[in-house]
C-alpha cells in the first residue's frame, strides 16, 4: 500500500530520465492531475473530473507544473505503479487491489498498454528516527517515519568501565504507520549504551542514540567543588 510515504515531487527534469510534464494540483480538490489532454468540451481550462465540483473538471489557475518520472521501477526511495486515471485524470496508486473511487464513477482506471497511463515513479526521502528511554532495567526504543509494514534492523551496545559489556542486534517489523517499539534489558554495572536502527527496505540508517547509566548520570550532574570552596569553611 502507498499509505505512509511522504512523496516528493519535482518541477525540474533530470538527464537520462524520462518524465511527463503538465501535472498540476487542482485548485479546488488539491488532487494531482494531468492537464496535457485537450480541455473539456465547453469548459476551457478544465480537465477530467473534480470531486469538489460535480460535473466540472480540474483547474489549476496560475501554478507550477510538476514533472513525473516514468519507467524507473521500484528502487531505493522510489515507488512505481502510479498511474493517470483515464476518466478523471487524477494520479492514483495501482499497486494494490483498492484503487480508490473515481469521481466519474466506479474505480480509477489505467492500464499498462495505454500510453496515457504511464508507469510513474514517485520518490520518498526517508528520515527514520528513534527515541531511547530508560526505566531501570528496561531500555525502550521508539521508532517513527520508517517504511510502513517494513523491517527494521536494530543494534545496541552496552559499555562499562573496561569496555564493551554486551553487543547485540535484532530485526523487528514496523506497523502500518511506520512506527515500532522495541525493548531490551541493561542490567549490572554499566556506564552508557548506544542504539542504532536501520530501515531495511530503503537502506536508510538513523542517528546513533546514547543513554547514560543512572550512576554515570548522577556523577556528571553532581556539583563540583573548587579549591577556593574547600579553603573557606
Q: What is the per-residue pLDDT for 16? A: 66
Q: What is the per-residue pLDDT for 220? A: 53
**Architecture of domain 129-221 in CATH?**
Sandwich (2.60)
Residue 110 has pLDDT above 70, yes or no: yes
Residue 116 has pLDDT above 70, yes or no: no
Q: Are strands 78-84 and 120-123 parallel, antiparallel or unpaired?
A: antiparallel
- 189-214: string of b/e by CB count within 10 Å (b at 16+)? ebbebebbbbbbbbebebeebebbbe
Residue 202 in contact with residue 194, Cβ under 8 Å? no
The mean predicted confidence, pLDDT, of the chain is 82
Kindly report, residue by residue over 1-12, the tens digit of the pLDDT: 444 567 777 776
Query: Long-range CB contacts (< 8 A, 24+ apart) of 109-116?
Result: 109/85, 110/83, 110/84, 110/85, 110/86, 114/86, 116/34, 116/37, 116/84, 116/86
Q: What percent of the chain has a predicted confidence (pLDDT) above 90? A: 36
Task: Give the DSSP H/E element, type plus range, for residue 182.
Answer: strand 180-185
Kindly report, residue by residue over 201-228, the tens digit of the pLDDT: 778 888 889 888 877 765 555 454 443 4
Quick one: 146 exposed, middle or buried, by C-beta within 10 A (0-12, 13-18, 19+)?
Answer: buried
Prediction pTM value: 0.55
Kindly report, residue by residue over 157-183, the tens digit of the pLDDT: 999 989 999 999 999 998 877 889 999
Q: What is the per-residue pLDDT for 23? A: 94
Cis peptide leading into 137, omega within 30 of 0? yes
Q: What is the per-residue pLDDT for 180? A: 95
Q: Locate CATH 2.60.40.2150 in the chain.
A: 129-221
Amino acid at each position: 500500500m502507498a499509505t505512509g510515504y511522504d512523496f516528493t515531487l519535482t518541477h525540474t527534469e533530470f538527464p537520462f530520465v524520462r518524465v511527463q510534464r503538465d501535472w498540476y494540483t487542482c485548485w479546488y480538490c488539491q488532487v494531482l492531475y494531468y492537464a496535457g489532454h485537450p480541455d473539456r468540451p465547453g469548459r476551457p481550462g478544465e480537465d477530467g473530473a473534480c470531486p469538489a465540483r460535480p460535473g466540472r473538471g480540474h483547474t489549476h489557475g496560475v501554478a507550477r507544473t510538476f514533472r513525473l518520472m516514468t519507467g524507473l521501477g521500484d528502487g531505493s526511495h522510489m515507488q512505481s505503479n502510479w498511474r493517470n486515471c483515464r476518466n478523471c485524470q487524477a494520479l492514483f496508486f495501482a499497486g494494490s487491489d483498492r484503487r480508490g473511487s473515481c469521481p466519474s464513477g466506479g474505480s480509477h482506471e489505467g492500464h499498462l498498454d495505454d500510453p496515457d497511463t504511464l508507469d510513474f515513479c514517485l520518490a520518498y526521502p526517508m528520515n527514520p528516527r528513534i527515541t531511547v528511554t530508560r526505566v531501570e532495567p528496561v531500555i525502550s526504543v521508539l521508532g517513527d517515519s520508517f517504511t510502513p509494514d517494513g523491517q527494521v534492523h536494530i543494534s545496541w551496545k552496552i559499555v562499562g568501565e573496561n569496555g564493551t559489556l554486551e553487543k547485540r542486534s535484532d530485526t523487528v517489523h514496523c506497523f502500518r504507520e511506520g512506527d515500532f517499539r522495541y525493548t531490551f534489558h541493561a542490567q549490572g554495572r554499566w556506564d552508557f549504551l548506544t542504539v542504532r536502527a536501520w530501515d531495511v527496505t530503503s537502506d536508510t540508517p538513523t542517528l546513533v542514540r546514547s543513554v547514560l547509566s543512572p550512576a554515570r548520570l548522577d556523577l556528571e550532574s553532581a556539583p563540583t567543588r573548587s579549591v577556593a570552596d574547600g579553603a573557606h569553611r
